[in-house]
Structure 1
C-alpha cells in the first residue's frame, strides 16, 4: 500500500502550483499522516453535530465522556508533538466541545428524571 501511496504522491507532486508548495511540503502537509488523520476525524464532528438534535434520553453518557476526555488529551498531544499539528488540535477541540455539550444535555436529563 505504501508504494501505491508514494506513486500517487509523486504524480500529484508534478501538478502542485508554486504558491501551494509550502503547504504541500510542510511536515504536517498532505504527504503525511499528520494531515490525513485530522481530515478524516472531521467525520466525528459531523456525527456529533447530527446528534445535537437527538433527544437527550438517547445519548450515551459514557460515550460522550470518553470522546470528550480523549479529544482533550489528543488536543494537548497535537501541540506537544513536532511538528505541531494545529489541524489535529482544532478538530479534537471541536469534538471535545460538542461532546461536553452533549454530556451536559444527558446529565440534565438524568437529573430531571430523578426529581
Structure 2
C-alpha cells in the first residue's frame, strides 16, 4: 500500500503547480496524515449539522457531550503539537460548537419533559 501512496505523491509532485508546492510539501499538507485526519473528521462535523435537524427527542445526550468534550480537547492539542495543525483545530472547534447546540437542545427537551411529568403528577 505504501508503494501506491508514494506513486501518487510522486505524480502529485509533477502535477501540482509551483505556487502550491509549499502547501503540497508542508508537514500538515496533503502528503501527510496531518491533513487527511482532519479532512475525514469534517464528516463528524457535518453529521452534527444533520443532527440539528433531528427532533429533540431523538438526540443523544451522551453522544453530544462526548463530541463536545472530544472537540475541545483536540482543538487545544492541535495547537501544541508539531506541526501546528490549524485545519485540525478548526474542525474540532466546529465539531464542539455544532454538538454543543445539540447538547443544549437535548437538555432543554429533557428538562421540559421532566417539568411536564411533575406537573401531571401534582394534578393527580
Question: Which TM-score tier does this pair reach, normalised by the shorter chain?
Answer: over 0.9
TM-score by length of 1: 0.97
Matches of 2:104 and 2:55, distance apart in 1: 13
The Cα shift of 1:4 comes to 1.1
Structure 1, unaligned stretches of length 5 or more?
none
The corresponding residue for 2:101 is 101
Tell me, in whole angstroms, the C-alpha distance in 2 between the residues paired with 1:9 and 1:25.
Answer: 10
**CA RMSD in angstroms, aligned pairs only:** 0.7
Aligned ranges 1:8-87 → 2 under 5 Å: 8-87=8-87
* Superposed CA offset, 1:46-83 (max 9, x none): 11111111011100000000011011111011000011
Superposition misfits of 4+ residues, deviation over 2 angstroms:
none
Q: CA deviation at 1:7?
A: 1.1
| Cα distance between partner residues in 1 of 2:50 and 2:114 | 27
Larger radius of gyration: 2
Provide structure 2 residue ranges, at least 5 long, that are not aligned to the other structure.
116-124
Task: Using the TM superposition, give the Cα deviation of residue 12 of structure 1 relative to its aligned residue in structure 2, in angstroms.
Answer: 1.3
TM-score (normalised: structure 2): 0.90
Count of aligned pairs: 115
